[in-house]
Structures are given as structure tokens and as C-alpha cells.
Structure 1
Amino acid sequence: MGAFSIWHWLIVLLIVVMVFGTKKLKNIGSDLGGAVKGFKDGIKDGGQSTEEAAAAKPGQVAQDARIDKSTIDVEAKQKS
């Protein structure tokens, strides 16, 4: 009474294909695969390189070489 047999799953698969169509299912699959690949690449490239990590002192924020010249550097102070 609890588990479905292979025939139940085949009927469900047939209904899904009839409702969505094979082209839409293919597009969904390729979009999902591209998203997973992009996520993996982002995780791999997201960290600092070993040279940047070795050059940065602990407790300091590394300066970005692409700093916008119109940016004003300010220091936040706490209210007392």
C-alpha cells in the first residue's frame, strides 16, 4: 500500500511528458545543468589566490587595484 511499482512511475512520467512536452523538459534540464556548473565554477574561483592570501596581513582588508577614484573613504564611528 505504501510504495509505488515501476508501472506507477512510468505512468507518472508519461503524464509529465504529455503535459510539459519534451522540448520544455530538455530546456529545464539544460538550464539546471548550467546553473549547477556556474555554481561549481563560482565556488572554485570565489576564494583568494594563495599569493593574495600570503601578502595580506591578518586583520587588514586587502586593497582592490580597481578602486574608483570618485569613491570617498570614510571611517564609521559609534555613537556614545
Structure 2
Amino acid sequence: MRTMANIAVVLAVAGGLAGCGSSPMERSVSGGGVGAAAGVGIAAIAGAPILAGAAVGAAGGAVIGAVTNECQIDLGPRRPKNC
């Protein structure tokens, strides 16, 4: 049960960081962090190797963060001027 609580905390913190980033590099870094946290959580639940889950999640999150732009992400009422 303690493991599930730790996973929930990591995912909550990672979710809070997900909104950070206006440049492709910033979104890539925050996406990699969120992806790594999600990969760890999924690997822990599935019983898979934790480091492999973190690596796959980080790679996927970084790629998604790098290929998106501010106009494709719903940031709420404030939108960039060039959208």
C-alpha cells in the first residue's frame, strides 16, 4: 500500500510540472519528467522493471513535448499572441 501512495505522490507532482514550458526545449524537459513518472507508475503497477518504465516514459514524454507547440496545448484562457 505504501508503494501505491508513493506512486500517487510522484504522479501528482509530475502532473503539476506538466504545464510548465513555453519553448520546445522546456516542453521536452517537462514532458520527459512527466513521462518518466508515468512510466515508473505503470511499471510498478504492472510488475515490470522500474528503470525500463522510466526510460520508455521519459523518451515518449520528451518527444511529445518537443513536437507540440503552445497553440496545440490548452493552457486555459491565456493564449499566445501568435496562435
Q: TM (normalized to structure 2)?
A: 0.29
The structure number with the bigger radius of gyration is 1
Q: Which has the higher helix share?
A: 2
TM-score by structure 1 length? Answer: 0.30
